[in-house]
Amino acid sequence: MSADFKLDLTHRPRRLRRTGALRSLVEETILTPADFIAPLFVVEGDGAPEPIPSMPGVSRLSIADLVAECRTLSGLGVPAVALFPKLADSLKDERGTRALDTTGLIIRAVHAVKAAVPQISVMTDIALDPYTTHGHDGLLLPDGETVANDETVGVLTRMAVLHAQAGVDFVAPSDMMDGRVGAIRRAMDAAGCTHTAIMAYSAKFASAYYGPFRDAVGSAKAAGTHSLDKRGYQVSPANRREALIEAALDEAEGADVLMVKPAGPYLDIIREIRNATQRPVAAYQVSGEYAQLKAAAERGWLDLARTRRESLLAIKRAGADMILTYFAKEMATELAL
């Protein structure tokens, strides 16, 4: 092609891509530490952090180390943490009774974090899978396979009130039982916890990306498998309209924030829910999403810094107002540079 060949173009979008300064002026989606919620795992005792092999860089923390991590995160501008307990197998049973222990691990962890780092928002998981020997999110019917919806909701409402009374800012029901958001809202209001918000796992899919998380909380070991079948209560990955129905029901029942989980494979669902509601929308970049980027980077196949940023930009661009991500600390540190 001749060097003096010229196109007669009125519009040349590349004009605004020419320099870094120009690109920053027109950047549409911007990540800040305030976008992130850091999921953290807590264990009993005062031992050293326990690395999780399937989640490089993530460890289970004692309560003392959890408090220190929350101080660090708050100092980096991360406004919230989501706490998940790892119980000893000896404390689990078929009915997850330790979920209602008023002096249990997660309650003590909440008290410690709120006392030491009062400015950070604390969210707790409302589901039974960390507490049950079978690894399901609720109570099983006599067939040993089907989760009992209404009986499970009865337990979850008591669990949510217990966490609200401990001082959490959000309870986050992740169980996907029908009607649990409304029941939790009524129970917390009746207990005087009207200030406690609900972040509902509204569109939680029966995903294959949860395996490392199940290692982290011990539910994979309890169940004997990383791929425990939860299709009887979680949304099919094939279904878009069903996810929208779930989100609409949670909003109608009083959810303050609607969540999509996982995030990356479900950007279309994030956008659909963002368009359908005025409520804040959260998205959970789950353990499998984190692990695959870490593993590829360790092998030199991907640039970790660039791919983690791109993955989070995509989630925010799709419409998420807040993102639960195991990259929260890394990203907040990078953004502070």
Residues 72, 61 contacting (CB under 8 angstroms): no
- Residue 126 vs residues 61, 130, 252, 282: alpha-carbon distances, Å: 20, 10, 19, 16
Provide the 10 A C-beta neighbour count for residue 207.
18
Output the pLDDT for position 228: 82
Which residue, chain included where needed, has tokens 């979850």? 156
Instruction: Single out the residue of 245, 178, 236 nearest to residue 208, CA to CA.
Output: 236
**Across the 337 residues of the chain, what is the mean pLDDT of every consecutive 10-residue run?**
84 97 97 98 97 97 98 98 96 97 98 98 97 96 94 98 98 98 98 98 97 87 63 97 98 98 98 98 98 98 98 98 98 95
Cα–chain center distance at 210: 11
**Whole-prediction pTM:** 0.95
Return the pLDDT at 93: 96
Question: Is 230 part of the annotated catalytic residue set?
Answer: no
Catalytic residue among 114, 261, 294, 316: 261
Chain position carrying tokens 């959890």: 66
What is d(CA 179, CA 160) in angstroms, rounded to the nearest whole number? 14
Active-site entry in 86, 92, 114, 204 = 204
- Is position 261 annotated as part of the catalytic site? yes
Using CA of residue 24, residue 27, residue 33, residue 39, what is the dihedral sign? negative
Q: In this structure, which topology does domain 37-336 adopt according to CATH? A: TIM Barrel (3.20.20)
Residue 212 confidence (pLDDT): 95
Strand-pair category, 59-61 with 50-51:
antiparallel
pLDDT at 99 (0 to 100): 98
Q: Where are the domains of the chain?
A: 37-336
Which residues 6+ apart lie within 8 Å of 202 measured at CB? Answer: 243, 246, 247, 250, 251, 255, 258, 259, 260, 273
- Say what the pLDDT of residue 324 is: 98
In angstroms, the CA 127 to CA 134 distance is 13
Question: Token pair for residue 150?
Answer: 């209404």
Cα 272 off chain centre by: 19
CA quadruple 300, 302, 38, 139: dihedral sign: negative
Could you tell me if residue 258 is left (phi over 0), alpha (psi between -120 and 50 degrees) or otherwise beta? Answer: beta
Q: How far is CA 262 from the centre of its chain?
A: 8
